[in-house]
Amino acid sequence: MWALAILFLGVGLASGLKAEEVIRNGDFSSDDNVWRRAGKIVYLDASGKVVDKGTEGSKPAFQLDLTPNRWTVAEQTFRNRDKSKSITITVRLRASADFARNDAAEYSDVNFQAGGTYFWSAIVYPKVDFFVRLADATHNYGLINLTPGGDWQTLKLRLNDLSPTQKERTLFLNAAPGTGTIYIESVSAVSP
């Protein structure tokens, strides 16, 4: 009988734990831009063209304009749930039709490939179109290459071995040197 009561109590406590979204304005629906460094909130119509706010059918997005010889970086610092060792990061993004990475720019000499998740002791800039970096006790990377003028793509990574004592973390959105624009529909970082 006691074992059954303890089991129900455990299930009840576990069901009370909810995943927590730690990114502020990750859907860019508020004009309050909490992202630092680069980028701005714009509104896109169904064809992906930038339009005025309030245009019927338009949706907010975050615009990162590329520069030819340096990375374009936006960042947001957040407080994570106490003692959380895992987080799931999801970014929905697309490249403009005139997007082109500058392959002659300077990149770090690391063997990181698009589609992978990597952990490194230093800040690096791999030869990919876009990556997210989560600063924790180490640097955690998720990488993607984009199709110019293509559909929305999703970059998703789950990190399970984060430092449980790290109260603040910073998420960096990194667009490669080049021309064109990357539009971000949403950014989510969910901590269990």
Which pLDDT tens digit goes with each residue over 38-95? 999 999 998 889 999 989 999 999 999 999 999 999 999 888 766 678 889 999 999 9
Sorting pLDDT into bands at 50, 70 and 90, what band is 97? very high
Q: What CATH number does the domain located at 18-191 have?
A: 2.60.120.260
Instruction: Return d(Cα 28, Cα 34) in angstroms, integer.
Output: 9
Task: Give the three-class secondary structure for 165.
Answer: coil
pLDDT of residue 1: 45
CB burial of residue 67 (10 Å; 0-12, 13-18, 19+): middle
Higher pLDDT, 137 or 129: 129
Please check the confidence at residue 181 and state whether its pLDDT lies above 90. yes
For residue 187, the surrounding DSSP H or E stretch is: strand 181-191
- Residue 52: the pLDDT is 94
Burial class (CB in 10 A: 0-12, 13-18, 19+), 111: exposed
- Taking the C-alpha atoms of residue 190 and residue 72, their distance in angstroms, rounded to an integer, is 24
Would you state the pLDDT for residue 102? 97
Q: What CA–CA distance (Å, rounded) separates 192 from 160?
A: 11
pLDDT higher for 62 or 24?
62
